[in-house]
């Protein structure tokens, strides 16, 4: 695992944008996994700018979302699919039919999970972006989830429900209690992972993810076992690591 630390979040964003561009340019049909949440928004703005300047095209890109709230359709203003559409996909030249997401209002969620898992097997993800949740989750793999799980429905933990207030919900009662998510085993099959963390509030979590025991109690620790993973941090998020734990860029 390689950990790199930048002076500030803008430098983090620039680095990740550049890496995504390289992956897109190195493949005839690149498959990118996108995360929602606050952390990657600067990266998405950077990708939009690059596209607008004609420096990158998403015409051949297939995009897979990580997770969704159970009970929210892709057109619901608070769904992750809608957030990805509004903050990124609608502003790029990506073909709509190449955007894939879990359907939070499927009649049969088990079948929906199998459908998505199969789609990902058929379109292996070249680069998966990740963020770390306040309980150590990646995607909506909450603490205690088996590392062997594929796509599945999950009960959201308190920290995840509370963090959702930052995603436009006005009251905790409005936040769905369940999510549907790529599993750890799904995520670990991606060829490359980029985990981004920013800010002091992620510092202790980052320390445990990078240096703690790999354990289902702290799902993001699994990335230590991936053979192509970059952890990209700003100085604040790295503040609980030792200097020998990372490269400074």
Q: Which residues bind ligand F6R (CB under 6 A)?
A: 35-39, 66-67, 80, 131-133, 137-139, 163
146: tokens are 């088996």
User: Minimum distance between the CB of residue 81 and ligand F6R, rounded to whole angstroms?
Assistant: 11
Euclidean distance between CA atoms 224 and 209, whole angstroms: 8
> CB 179 → ligand F6R: shortest distance, Å?
9
In the complex, the smallest distance separating the C-beta of residue 24 from ligand F6R, rounded to whole angstroms, is: 20
Beta strands in 102-226 (DSSP E): 127-131, 152-155, 178-181, 192-197
Residue 134 beta carbon to ligand F6R: minimum distance, rounded to whole angstroms: 7
The Cα–Cα gap between 48 and 93 comes to 10
CB of 244 to ligand F6R, least distance (A): 27
Strands 2-6 and 229-234: parallel
* Residues 180, 181, 184, 186, CA torsion sign: positive
Q: Do residues 102 and 29 touch, judged by C-beta distance below 8 A?
A: no
- Residue with the closest Cβ to ligand F6R? 131
CA distance 163 to 152: 20
- Residue 232, beta-bridge partner list: 4, 196
Tell me which residue of 133, 195, 189, 138 sits closest to 161, measured CA to CA.
Answer: 133
By C-beta, is 44 or 51 nearer to ligand F6R? 44
**C-beta of 25 vs 77, nearer to ligand F6R:** 77
Radius of gyration of the chain (CA): 17
How many angstroms separate the CA atoms of 20 and 242, rounded? Answer: 28
Nearer to ligand F6R, 5 or 195 (CB): 195
**Least separation, in Å, of the C-beta of 23 and ligand F6R?**
19
133/183 with CB nearer ligand F6R? 133
Q: What is the spatial distance between Cα 37 and Cα 155, in angstroms, rounded to a whole number?
A: 18
Q: Which residue, 137 or 226, is less far from ligand F6R as judged by CB? A: 137
Q: In the complex, what is the shortest distance from the CB of residue 169 to ligand F6R, in angstroms, rounded to a whole number?
A: 13
Residue 61 or 197: which CB sits closer to ligand F6R?
197
Identify which of residues 92 and 237 has a Cβ nearer to ligand F6R in the complex. Answer: 237
């Amino acid at each position: 695992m390689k950990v790199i630390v930048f002076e500030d979040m803008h430098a983090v964003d620039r680095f990740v944008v550049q890496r995504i561009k390289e992956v897109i340019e190195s493949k005839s049909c690149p498959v990118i996994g996108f995360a929602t949440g606050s952390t990657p928004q600067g990266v998405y703005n950077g990708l939009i700018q690059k596209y607008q300047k004609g420096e990158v095209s998403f015409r051949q890109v297939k995009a897979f979302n990580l997770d969704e709230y159970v009970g929210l359709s892709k057109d619901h203003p608070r769904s992750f699919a809608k957030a990805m559409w509004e903050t990124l996909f609608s502003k790029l030249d990506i073909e709509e039919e190449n955007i894939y997401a879990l359907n939070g209002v499927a009649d049969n969620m088990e079948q929906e999970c199998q459908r998505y898992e199969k789609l990902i097997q058929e379109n292996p993800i070249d680069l998966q972006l990740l963020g770390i949740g306040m309980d150590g989750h990646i995607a909506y793999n909450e603490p205690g989830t088996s590392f062997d799980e594929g796509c599945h429905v999950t009960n959201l933990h308190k920290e995840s429900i509370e963090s959702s207030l930052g995603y436009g919900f006005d009251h905790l009662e409005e936040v769905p209690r369940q999510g549907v998510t790529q599993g750890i085993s799904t995520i670990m099959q991606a060829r490359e992972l980029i985990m981004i963390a920013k800010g002091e509030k992620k510092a202790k979590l980052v320390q445990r993810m990078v240096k703690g025991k790999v354990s289902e109690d702290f799902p993001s620790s699994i990335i230590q076992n991936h053979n192509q993973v970059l952890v990209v941090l700003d100085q604040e998020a790295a503040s609980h690591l030792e200097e020998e734990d990372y490269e400074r860029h």
